[in-house]
Structures are given as C-alpha cells and as structure tokens.
C-alpha cells in the first residue's frame, strides 16, 4: 500500500463499525459541567474509559483480528502493548477462542498485566520484555516472523486505524450541536489518524487537535522533521502514550488531518487526573487525561465553543496516585524542596517554623542528612503551599532570617538524586 496516499475512508470506518457491533455498544457522550464552567465552553467527554476493557483499543484490535483469514487466525496471533492494546487483543482472543502471545514492557503497571490475564484467560500468554513499548514491539515482531504467527499492530495498520475511527462516527452521531473542536490523545497515532480521517471527511469545519505528553512527542517531532523519527529518550510516565516512534501510516494521515498538536507536560496531566476524580468522579489513566489537560493550553480559542475531549482509557493503578499527586503539586508550584543547613544550636528549627513558614505553609517532608561539621546540620525539607504566589514570600523570609539553603526544584540533577 502506498503510505503517501492511504487515508481511512468513511466507507471503511462504517464497515468497521458493523464488525464491532458484534461485541460493543457505543460509549457515552457526556457534557462535563466542571470543564465547561472552567473554560466558558460546552465541553463534552467521549467516554472510552467505560469500554469493557476500559480503553478504546478494543476497537482497532478486534477489527484487525476479524479481518484475518481463518486459517491464519487459528495459527495464533502476536501483539505488543503497554497495556491497553494488550487488553483488547486478549479479550478478542478469548471471544474468538484463538491463541495469542502478548509482549509487554517490564515497566507496565501490574494492574494492566493482571487485567490482560483476566480478559485473555487460558487463550493468551504474556511475555514481559524491554523497558519501553518500542523494545517490546521489536521482540514481538521477531517472534511472530519466526513462528509464522500474525502480528497485530497497536496502531500502524489500516484495519486498526479504521477500528479506532469508529469513535469519530459515534461522536458525530451523538453530538447534537455544531462541533468546533475535538481533542484526541496521540501515542503512536492510530486513534488520531482514524478518528481524524472520519471527522475531516464528515465535518470538515471541525478543528482536530492532537495531544501528546511532553516526554514523548513522537508525532509532533515527526511532522516538524517532515519524516518519522525515533526519539532518543522518552518519559514513560504517560505509559499509554509513551511511544518513541510514530507509525509510517499514522504519520502520513495525521499530518494531513490534524490542525494542531499540543504537547502537555506530565505535571499538567497529573493535575487533570486529580481534578477529574475530585470534581467529576471520573477515574482516568495518564493517557486518558491528555485531551482534557490540553484545554488549559487552548483556553482562549475554545471559549464559547462546542468541544469534545476523547477520554481514551481508565486503566490506572491506584498505587500510582501518590506519585501523581506529587507531580501535580510540583508542576503547579505548590510543592518545594530545600536542603537547609541549620546551625547546631537550640532554637534553630523553632525559629524556622515560627518565623519563616507562612500561616498556610506545611512541612510535608523532613529528613536530617549526615552532618558534615559541628556548626551546621543539613536537613532535606519539603514544603507544600496553599497558593503558588506564596513562594516568593517564603524565600524572602528565608533571606531575612539568614537561612542557609539550596533550592532543589531548580536543580534537576540534585533533585533526582535526593528526592527521586
């Protein structure tokens, strides 16, 4: 197939929708009052987090597997995934009673691995290999070739893209208003290319905005470079979208159908995860929060508009919530770490607490480090503020009281060494 010309067609996506009717109902399309109030817009959520496998990936996986010749299907299939595609493939294997080998990075959250086992039951085996999706993907492709099995790509495949494109079809069927903006997360680009193709053909006036995590903007960089490139390093925190290299097909489609790509810092994603839970009782994984997190960077453009955010998944491990909270506080300027050298005399700490801390400042971390001399003792202190504007006053009081300190937030190397 000529990758320069392929675009998922309306007809192909309509056909995929018919295939998916065998196993799926349309997911809810809901107005979110909290986001609407914040941005002065009508913000709707396409709730792919409410799929049976808690992500949209079932669409592309099942559509691809159902397109395989029966004899090839019975020989077994192989896939690679950071979790959500794996769950879609696992469910499909169980539903169709075929064997599947699923390769996952060793960094995949335990919760996602257990979910894959639950959906696939006795029809799948899980192979943990590599630190990134790309490493697991390479191993899976090699294994499929060596064992004459069919590889099910997570995103760079026409049938997968067409399956994901059915979300766009559902959105246009469910939305009763003129649709001004759609925000869609990007990992490898399967969702953005499939959905984007359908919307571009059926609602050409709608702006389609792709959203990538700051630590893995593979599609943004590919479009900037004019070709697919492999990122040297990625931040794997937004694991559902932490992809080093966009697909060849998805790149060609995304550069044609997307109006823009917003790159969202991981800290902003964490803030959105917390806000969606606290304000709307919605549990999302980091990748599932990307589209809603992007709204703060498009606040002026979307004011007074009809906006859709695709909530792509909710496979979040509860043990990550402490890390998510910490990242959010750091990004929002509410958490600050210092190494303070206290004089070795009575009353030094009392002076700090009484005269330096503000009335709403909390010490949330306190650890004495090894003393280097008799006169001073270094202490690692974490301080949480009620308002980011309080930081300037805090450091001003430190100077007024001659506090000897190092500010760690501004020193990434030292921060990583001491805080982790």
Is CATH 3.40.50.1100 what the domain over 10-56+158-326 is classified as, yes or no?
yes
Positive or negative: CA dihedral 188, 59, 161, 295: negative
Region 375-400: what's the mean pLDDT? 94
Topology alike, domains 10-56+158-326 and 333-418: no
Q: Where are the domains of the chain?
A: 10-56+158-326, 59-151, 333-418
Mark whether 193 is an active-site residue.
Answer: no
CATH of domain 333-418: 3.30.70.260
Instruction: Tell which residue, 48, 19, 64, has the closest CA to residue 249.
Output: 64
**For the residues 88-105, what does the mean pLDDT come to?**
96
End-to-end CA distance of the chain: 47
Give the residue from 1, 97, 30 showing the smallest Cα distance to 310: 30
Tens digits of residue pLDDT in 114-143: 999 999 999 999 999 998 877 898 999 999
- Nearest 5 degrees, angle CA 24-CA 28-CA 29? 135
Question: Of the residues 17, 46, 55, 57, which is catalytic?
Answer: 57
The structure tokens 């949209």 sit at 56
pLDDT grade for 111, boundaries at 50, 70 and 90: confident
Q: What is the tens place of the pLDDT at every residue in 398-419?
A: 999 999 999 999 998 889 888 8
Q: How confident is the model at residue 1 (pLDDT cuts 50, 70, 90)?
A: very low
Of 59, 4, 9, which Cα lies nearest the Cα of 255?
Answer: 4
Does the 59-151 domain belong in CATH 3.40.50.1100?
Answer: yes
From the list 55, 101, 197, 312, the catalytic residue is 312
The pLDDT mean for the chain works out to 94
For 138-161, what is each residue's pLDDT tens digit?
A: 999 999 999 999 999 999 999 999
- Rounded Cα distance between 32 and 29, Å, is 10
Per-residue pLDDT at 2: 46
User: Contact at 8 Å (CB) between 283 and 314?
Assistant: yes
Active site residue 371: no
Instruction: Please give the pLDDT value at position 151.
Output: 97
């Amino acid at each position: 197939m000529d990758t320069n010309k392929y675009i998922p067609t309306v007809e192909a996506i309509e056909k995929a929708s018919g295939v998916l009717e065998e196993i799926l109902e349309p997911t809810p399309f809901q107005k979110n009052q909290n986001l609407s109030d914040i941005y002065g817009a009508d913000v709707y959520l396409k709730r792919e987090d409410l799929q049976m496998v808690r992500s949209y990936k079932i669409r592309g996986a099942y559509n691809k597997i159902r397109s395989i010749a029966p004899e090839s299907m019975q020989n077994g299939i192989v896939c690679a995934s950071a979790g959500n595609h794996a769950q879609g493939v696992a469910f499909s294997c169980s539903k169709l009673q075929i064997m599947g080998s699923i390769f996952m990075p060793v960094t995949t959250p335990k919760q996602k691995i257990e979910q894959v086992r639950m959906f696939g039951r006795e029809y799948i085996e899980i192979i943990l290999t590599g630190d990134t999706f790309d490493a697991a993907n390479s191993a899976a492709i090699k294994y499929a070739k060596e064992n004459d099995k069919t590889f099910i790509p997570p995103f760079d495949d026409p049938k997968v893209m067409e399956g994901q494109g059915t979300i766009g079809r559902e959105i246009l069927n469910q939305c009763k208003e003129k649709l001004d903006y759609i925000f869609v997360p990007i990992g490898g680009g399967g969702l953005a290319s499939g959905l984007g193709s359908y919307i571009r053909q059926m609602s050409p006036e709608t702006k389609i905005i792709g959203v990538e995590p700051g630590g893995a903007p593979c599609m943004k960089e590919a479009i900037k470079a004019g070709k697919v490139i492999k990122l040297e390093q990625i931040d794997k925190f937004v694991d559902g979208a932490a992809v080093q290299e966009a697909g060849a097909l998805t790149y060609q489609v995304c550069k044609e159908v997307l109006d823009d790509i917003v790159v969202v810092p991981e800290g902003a994603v964490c803030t959105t995860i917390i806000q969606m839970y606290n304000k709307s009782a919605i549990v999302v994984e980091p990748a599932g929060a990307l589209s809603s997190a992007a709204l703060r960077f498009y606040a002026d453009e979307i004011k007074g508009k009809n906006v859709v955010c695709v909530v792509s998944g909710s496979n979040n491990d509860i043990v990550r919530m402490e890390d998510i909270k910490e990242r959010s506080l750091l990004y929002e300027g509410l958490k600050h770490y210092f190494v303070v050298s206290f004089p070795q005399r009575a009353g030094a700490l009392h002076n700090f607490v009484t005269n330096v801390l503000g009335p709403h400042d909390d010490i949330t971390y306190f650890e004495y480090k090894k003393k280097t001399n008799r006169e001073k003792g270094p202490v690692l202190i974490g301080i949480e503020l009620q308002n980011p504007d309080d930081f300037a006053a805090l450091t001003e009081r430190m100077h007024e009281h001659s506090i000897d300190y190092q500010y760690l937030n501004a020193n990434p190397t030292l921060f990583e060494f001491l805080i982790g």
